[in-house]
Amino acid sequence: MSNRVLSTGSQLPVFKKKAVVSLEKGKEFAEITHEFASAKGKWTVLFWWPKDFTFVCPTEIAEFNKKNSEFSDRDAVVIGASTDSEFVHLAWRKDHSDLRDLKFPMLADTSKSLAEELGILDADEKVAYRATFIIDPHGIIRWVSVYDLNVGRNVQEVVRVLDALQTDELCPCNWKKGEETLTAQLSLN
């Protein structure tokens, strides 16, 4: 297992995984690849949680779902993922009221190969850390955030960082969309 988390500037690894995309009978599953969003010229927000049927994870997944239109408005596609199977994902979505109407796929990395390539597989538990990757339309990782297994992330911060990345300008500390960006001025003194 790689101990190094793939970081900014790295290419998103090539992958093809099953995902839960619906609760409709016969349309529950689809195959998702590394080109899922980039083929459409969109950004990707790929976020990972450790395990289905746990306590912190559904709060994050539900929050990403609430903010899905904000990501969509920014030409970004959200993909959620864990090392659980697509069948466990489906059972959890059916069981948990906050997960029934998800607007994004739940990727199943049952082989743990993608989590391992990304460097986010916990060595002891063999589950993914709470990691978030923002990937540009060219498949380049532009931002990474990794949390301990017990701590939930701030989804609004993911939206803020996506906004900043999409300006392609210098954004100061705590910058928010609509605020002034910075201009670099060289001094010859």
Could you give the residue numbers annotated as active site?
57
| DSSP-derived secondary structure letter, 10 | P
Place of tokens 């093809």: 16
C-alpha torsion angle, residues 122, 127, 133, 138 (rounded to 10): 100
Place of tokens 């739940």: 106
What element of type H or E holds 135?
A: strand 130-135
**What 3-state class would DSSP assign to 74?**
coil
Pinpoint the alpha helices (H) of 132-185.
Answer: 155-167
